[in-house]
Amino acid sequence: MSETLLSSRNLAFELYEVLDAEGLTQRERFAEHNRETFDAAISTARSIAEKYFAPHNRKNDENEPRYEDGKAILIPEVKPAVDAFLEAGFLNAARSFEAGGMQLPTLLSQACFAHFQAANAASTSYPFLTMGAANLIESFGTEEQKQRFLQPMIEGRFFGTMALTEPHAGSSLSDIRTRAEPAADGSYRLKGNKIFISGGDHPLSENIVHMVLAKLPDAPAGVKGISLFIVPKFLVNDDGSLGARNDVLLAGLFHKMGWRGTTSTALNFGDNGHCVGYLVGKPHQGLSCMFQMMNEARIGVGMGAVMLGYAGYLYSLEYARERPQGRLPDSKDPTTAPVSIIQHADIKRMLLTQKAYVEGAFDLGLYAARLFDDTTTLATDIERRQAHELLDLLTPIVKSWPSEFCLKANELAIQILGGHGYTREYPVEQYYRDNRLNPIHEGTHGIQSLDLLGRKLAQNGGAGLKQLIRLIAETGARAQKYPSLTALREPLEHLVARLQSVTIGLLTDLAQGKVNSSLANSALYLKVFGHTVIGWRWLEQAIRAEEGLAKGNAADVDFYKGKLQAARYFLTWEVPGCHHELRLLENRDDTCLNMQDKWY
Amino acid sequence: MSETLLSSRNLAFELYEVLDAEGLTQRERFAEHNRETFDAAISTARSIAEKYFAPHNRKNDENEPRYEDGKAILIPEVKPAVDAFLEAGFLNAARSFEAGGMQLPTLLSQACFAHFQAANAASTSYPFLTMGAANLIESFGTEEQKQRFLQPMIEGRFFGTMALTEPHAGSSLSDIRTRAEPAADGSYRLKGNKIFISGGDHPLSENIVHMVLAKLPDAPAGVKGISLFIVPKFLVNDDGSLGARNDVLLAGLFHKMGWRGTTSTALNFGDNGHCVGYLVGKPHQGLSCMFQMMNEARIGVGMGAVMLGYAGYLYSLEYARERPQGRLPDSKDPTTAPVSIIQHADIKRMLLTQKAYVEGAFDLGLYAARLFDDTTTLATDIERRQAHELLDLLTPIVKSWPSEFCLKANELAIQILGGHGYTREYPVEQYYRDNRLNPIHEGTHGIQSLDLLGRKLAQNGGAGLKQLIRLIAETGARAQKYPSLTALREPLEHLVARLQSVTIGLLTDLAQGKVNSSLANSALYLKVFGHTVIGWRWLEQAIRAEEGLAKGNAADVDFYKGKLQAARYFLTWEVPGCHHELRLLENRDDTCLNMQDKWY
């Protein structure tokens, strides 16, 4: 049977040829692991994803959660799937042995998780959010909070959410109105409304732990007055048993275009005046705590976008191989047999584009996961800090690039299937609908572009950016060993050189206070920066492919040639096109900025 | 109330300032018309579209047609809407007075029809297909066929379809297998299966007239052996009354991602051996007849894509004006009031992009409609032929460009609404789903690109292309009067010059038999050619805006400034980017063409 979630050969390439997963086993934290334990975890993930998650992906879509008597009702297939995920230990794949985890590198836990994201984005959201909420409590919670809330989450009995967005404020967190009043017992009473809370209600766990942003009575205005609270659906007694229902009301469900199996909820906190919450971390510093979860979520969203793209790519590839239709332009004789559509040039283009987008973004997502490992397990403070700086810089790209281009991949997958692709009898239209969420949640595309240009670039004196430029140059230097890669390397080098100069210009403008004009075209900057990063990763993959070819394993030749062709596509069809956007950025083009409301 | 379907100011601009609709009234066929009769027709169209079509657009989506006892069941709102359309005469808007029509120019009938397309793409499909089928019989049917089938269609009692696609053949019409055997009475007996037949069954009319492609027993292989048949759902007696049910079986309905209100059917012809059909036109020449309907349909599909884009643009514009959120980058003080999101630079960009795509494509669609009028009402054979040649050349652009870029506009409309845009509580996600069909039906994007590059360019010795180049040059010459337009004109001129040279190179290659390599990147060519055409149309609009400004009507200043800004966006943000694709075309880049099946 052909693979439907991801190519295991490509995953092995990433782990063992590009990202040196085995090198991680030299580090103390991962010393108990080896390639066999890694592969075993991946194999388990694949089989559970195929057995429990993939089969109800369409049913999830066709039978979205229903609101009944204040509760969200899901189809019955979700719980056994999530339970299988929990039982196999994937919720704690990266957590330490002592804490009940597998102590896998994040690189590996992300590789495992990718299978679930490809199989069923909606059902996978519930454990995904729980992992993020658990990590947040682990980082910032008190010992008592960990005992009461984190431990049951690790055990898979409590699930989690992140509750940020409010109806009137949207992305503008500085304007949230949810209030938290201190109570006599040291806890707080919350009052406010949140919307678009994924997993805000469901019957999958004993309890749901909401991580809620709210403001204390003495809070300063804006983001510096936001605090973070644990607000459980059910209170938890000192002995760990469930207490009374907390005053968190499921006000309703949103009905989405796709990703329908995940409840998107409106939650009312404190309608009856007794919504109990517990402060996490220090007062007014909730947003910086929450950024840990948001950053995890952003990388997760990016990988989710990749995997929807990947599933669509594999499906359309298989379809193109099996579907006979038409003849090549130079052999129109209608008495000859039709060819498989994979032989048509434009189908090749649409498949190669998908491959370049999907495998490029897959590489970046796993690279980011490995960087996360570096932030915790590299030997020295300096090395760990450097990894952190680079990961911080790349996060908006890891989130936004796949959300845009793997959605585009899904659009192409539909196109390859033609009329069939547009029907719900085939899976690709659902991937497209599901993926359309990704440029919106966890910070819209616009927010990511401002985060990159207005914040991340200049952070720590531009340390992350300098590191990235150095890494790209190193890859370029290694590529010089292969004359065949010259045509791939040079477009990247030209782009990087010009991007650097544009960046310096924009940062100078920003430093001089020209904020509106320098941020106006941040979307263009995000695109070019993303293409630069993905172009770099493709050049890296191309080097590894050349290295692989040099080893002379006949069984691998086609795989490596495909890698080289996809790298060629990206670096010669996509990367050079970015000079147009760079020119607009260089000129500080104000066409959009100057547009007036009354002119539309 | 703000306008939701299209901007009537913009429509008036197109009709009376750009496309000289009043000039048409100088022609004999339209001599009874004037601006008042035109505006009355438009006003009627708008009010019927708003009153009968728009209100059930979402309901159509939520309650797609059901298959019951061999019939398709629709929601009850469709019939009154279609009936109102018929009663107001829009089915025959362009038909002559004697034939019961309004004898409007096609430009005007298209302008009227656009309102229905924006209000409810699905319900509008039924009369749309009927108009095309009726025109086909009018052009190629016998007097008896006209009496028996066309007349009831004109009266709105019979509806029509076009039945081309077969399960095994898809776009490859040369491989269709539906057979037509001559019967003793001069009619034929058809046998075969068709899929994706829009409007193939419904309860809206007394009868359905299928225009079916099939092959006679002695047919040569390929497209030169295709004949065209009328196959009615019910036979029609000599006195015009309905006879027996014909052997056309509704085998099932397809369930689509969007455009759900239009039945997409699988039809079985002749399962019981007595499916009666009537030959239209000459044997084996059915495809060239059908191309009339396909070309009409392609222009209609393009305009449909425009109008979905237009509706989404207007909705997101209104939302952006009314939604307060966040602050500008240079005024982050959280104690100040939030601004309307229309003030954010990236929202301005997304709105201006939509405006440029939607109004650019709207102009092109109406321009094509006016060209159609020229093909029938210009004074001389030569002039009419020239109009025909240009329309033929532009048809793949009129169809494909809006299908790609107005879909992109819908993607941006969702993005402006953020999380709300992704929910079915707002209309923009439906526009996006509906619009995703347009790059597929009536000839996929790939088919359009081959039609343009492999067929249309060289047709009639390149007469259409030469005419287009000349028209663009004339527009450029007129633009020289306005120094303010230099920055808009020059990018277009550069692009046209390079496109001409690329085109000559590709046509030379084609003439030398290098068909596979010269057609390989036809998708790139289609994009550049489309951007050239739309860029030309925007320069034309910009000239008219300057002319309008010069008249000094204060109430129009904002409108014209918006036009100039959208023209600036398209000609400086979009047009120059095409040089990248031209370079790939110049190089005959073979990256995609050389990709091998086993390398994916």
Q: Output the six-digit token pair for B538.
A: 């925007």
Chain A nearest-CA residue for B320: A597
A512 touches chain B (CB under 8 A): no
| B positions 244-303 inside 8 Å of A (CB) | 254-258, 264
* Pairs of residues, one from chain A and one from chain B, whose beta carbons lie less than 8 Å apart: 273
Catalytic residue among A64, A296, A442, A574: A442
**Percent of chain B surpassing pLDDT 90:** 98
Residue A2 has pLDDT above 90, yes or no: no
Q: Tell me the C-alpha distance between A192 and A213, whole Å.
A: 10
Residue A554 has pLDDT above 90, yes or no: yes
Between the alpha carbon of residue B137 and those of residues A7, B229, B288, the distances in Å are 53, 10, 13
Residue B498 has pLDDT above 80, yes or no: yes
Mean pLDDT in residue range B362-389: 97
The answer to whether the Cβ–Cβ distance between A418 and B171 falls below 8 Å is: yes
Residue B182 has pLDDT above 60, yes or no: yes
Q: Output the six-digit token pair for B599.
A: 């390398």
Give me the pLDDT at residue A240, please: 97
Give me the pLDDT at residue B294, please: 87
Whose tokens are 């990206």? That residue is A570
B3 touches chain A (CB under 8 A): no
C-alpha dihedral sign at B19, B23, B25, B27:
negative
The answer to whether the Cβ–Cβ distance between A597 and B343 falls below 8 Å is: yes
Mean pLDDT in residue range B545-568: 97
pTM: 0.98
The answer to whether the Cβ–Cβ distance between A338 and B415 falls below 8 Å is: no
Q: What is the pLDDT of residues B340-368, one digit of tens each?
A: 999 999 999 999 999 999 999 999 999 99
Burial class (CB in 10 A: 0-12, 13-18, 19+), A108: buried
Q: What is the pLDDT of residues A218-247, one digit of tens each?
A: 999 999 999 999 999 999 999 999 999 999
Neighbours of B48 (CB within 10 A): 21
Give me the pLDDT at residue A293, please: 85
Distance from CA of A178 to the nearest CA of B (A): 16
Q: Give the HSE-up count for residue B425: Cα atoms under 13 Å, Cβ half-sphere.
A: 12
Between the alpha carbon of residue B63 and those of residues B76, B198, B518, the distances in Å are 11, 17, 46
Q: Tell me the C-alpha distance between A344 and A422, whole Å.
A: 20
Mean pLDDT in residue range A555-572: 98
Mean pLDDT in residue range B31-49: 98
Q: Tell me the C-alpha distance between A559 and B155, whole Å.
A: 62
Between the alpha carbon of residue B68 and those of residues A19, B246, B322, B480, the distances in Å are 56, 18, 45, 63
Q: Tell me the C-alpha distance between A174 and A215, whole Å.
A: 10
**Percent of chain A surpassing pLDDT 90:** 98
Neighbours of B382 (CB within 10 A): 9
The answer to whether the Cβ–Cβ distance between B440 and A422 falls below 8 Å is: yes
Q: Tell me the C-alpha distance between B217 and B182, whole Å.
A: 8
Give me the pLDDT at residue B292, please: 86
- Enumerate the active-site residues of B: 442
Residue A164 has pLDDT above 70, yes or no: yes
- Neighboring chain B residues of A559 at a CB cutoff of 8 Å: 599
Mean pLDDT in residue range B570-593: 98
The answer to whether residues B230 and B209 touch, using CB atoms and an 8 Å cutoff, is: yes
First CA to last CA distance, chain B:
54
The answer to whether the Cβ–Cβ distance between B592 and A343 falls below 8 Å is: no
Burial class (CB in 10 A: 0-12, 13-18, 19+), A534: buried
| A positions 177-196 inside 8 Å of B (CB) | 195-196
In chain A, how long is the greatest CA-to-CA distance? 87
The answer to whether the Cβ–Cβ distance between A589 and B573 falls below 8 Å is: yes
> What ranges make up the beta strands (E) of A37-79?
66-68, 71-73
Residue A465 has pLDDT above 60, yes or no: yes
- Neighboring chain A residues of B168 at a CB cutoff of 8 Å: 324
Residue B1 has pLDDT above 80, yes or no: no
Nearest alpha-carbon partner for B183 in B275, B259, B82: B275
Chain A nearest-CA residue for B408: A408
Give Cβ neighbours of residue A21 (< 8 Å, ≥ 6 apart): A15, A35, A38, A105, A107, A108, A370
- Neighboring chain B residues of A330 at a CB cutoff of 8 Å: 513, 515-516
Q: What is the pLDDT of residues B62-117, one digit of tens each?
A: 999 999 999 999 999 999 999 999 999 999 999 999 999 999 999 999 999 999 99
Give Cβ neighbours of residue B195 (< 8 Å, ≥ 6 apart): A419, B165, B166, B167, B254, B265, B266, B267
Whose tokens are 């991602």? That residue is B257
**Three-state secondary structure call for residue B187:** coil
Give Cβ neighbours of residue A204 (< 8 Å, ≥ 6 apart): A74, A78, A79, A82, A126, A159
A92 touches chain B (CB under 8 A): no
Distance from CA of A73 to the nearest CA of B (A): 19
Q: What is the pLDDT of residues B311-325, one digit of tens each?
A: 999 999 999 999 999
Q: How confident is the model at residue A494 (pLDDT cuts 50, 70, 90)?
A: very high
The answer to whether residues B361 and B305 touch, using CB atoms and an 8 Å cutoff, is: yes
Q: Tell me the C-alpha distance between B363 and B367, whole Å.
A: 6
Chain B nearest-CA residue for A431: B257
| B positions 422-481 inside 8 Å of A (CB) | 422-425, 429, 432-433, 436-437, 439-441, 444-446, 449-450, 454
A342 touches chain B (CB under 8 A): yes
In chain B, how long is the greatest CA-to-CA distance? 87
Strand partners, B72: B67
Distance from CA of A379 to the nearest CA of B (A): 39
Q: Tell me the C-alpha distance between B71 and B250, whole Å.
A: 7
Q: What is the pLDDT of residues A49-67, one digit of tens each?
A: 999 999 999 999 999 999 9
Residue A72 has pLDDT above 60, yes or no: yes
Q: How high is the mean pLDDT of chain A?
A: 97
Query: Exposed e or buried b for every residue in B457-483, given b needs 16+ CB within 10 A?
Result: bbebebbbbebbbeebeebbebbeebe
Q: How confident is the model at residue A1 (pLDDT cuts 50, 70, 90)?
A: low
Burial class (CB in 10 A: 0-12, 13-18, 19+), B352: buried
User: Which of A170, A325, A351 comes nearest B172 by C-beta?
Assistant: A325
Q: What is the pLDDT of residues B436-493, one digit of tens each?
A: 999 999 999 999 999 999 999 999 999 999 999 999 999 999 999 999 999 999 999 9
- Neighboring chain B residues of A452 at a CB cutoff of 8 Å: none
A414 touches chain B (CB under 8 A): yes
- Neighboring chain B residues of A327 at a CB cutoff of 8 Å: 172
A221 touches chain B (CB under 8 A): yes
A174 touches chain B (CB under 8 A): yes
Neighbours of B71 (CB within 10 A): 12
Give me the pLDDT at residue A292, please: 86
The answer to whether the Cβ–Cβ distance between A334 and B174 falls below 8 Å is: yes
Neighbours of B98 (CB within 10 A): 7
The radius of gyration of chain B from alpha carbons, rounded to an integer in Å, stands at 24
Q: Pick from B263, B450, B570, B600 the residue to mutate for testing the A interface (most A CBs within 10 Å).
A: B600
Q: Which amino acid is at A258?
A: G
Q: Pick from A162, A172, A257, A431 the residue to mutate for testing the B interface (most B CBs within 10 Å).
A: A257
Whose tokens are 């491959």? That residue is A355
The answer to whether the Cβ–Cβ distance between A600 and B562 falls below 8 Å is: yes
Nearest alpha-carbon partner for B262 in A431, A59, A422: A422
For A247-308, give the secondary structure using H, E and C.
Answer: CEEEEEECCECCCCCCCEEEEEECCCCCEEEEEECCCCEHHHHHHHHHHHHHHHHHHHHHHH
Q: Tell me the C-alpha distance between B481 and B549, whole Å.
A: 14
First CA to last CA distance, chain A:
54
The answer to whether the Cβ–Cβ distance between B345 and A568 falls below 8 Å is: no
- Neighboring chain B residues of A352 at a CB cutoff of 8 Å: 591-592, 595, 600
B495 touches chain A (CB under 8 A): no
Mean pLDDT in residue range B568-583: 98
Q: Tell me the C-alpha distance between A304 and A306, whole Å.
A: 5
Instruction: Supply the DSSP symbol for B338.
Output: P
Residue B270 has pLDDT above 60, yes or no: yes
User: Which of A326, A422, A591 comes nearest B572 by C-beta?
Assistant: A591
Distance from CA of B143 to the nearest CA of A (A): 34
The answer to whether the Cβ–Cβ distance between B425 and A255 falls below 8 Å is: yes
Q: What is the pLDDT of residues B411-432, one digit of tens each?
A: 999 999 999 999 999 999 999 9
Distance from CA of A221 to the nearest CA of B (A): 6
Distance from CA of B418 to the nearest CA of A (A): 6
B343 touches chain A (CB under 8 A): yes
ipTM score assigned to the predicted complex: 0.98
The answer to whether the Cβ–Cβ distance between B418 and A444 falls below 8 Å is: yes
A600 touches chain B (CB under 8 A): yes
Between the alpha carbon of residue A496 and those of residues A402, A474, A508, A514, A535, the distances in Å are 20, 13, 18, 24, 10
**Three-state secondary structure call for residue B55:** helix
Give me the pLDDT at residue B419, please: 97
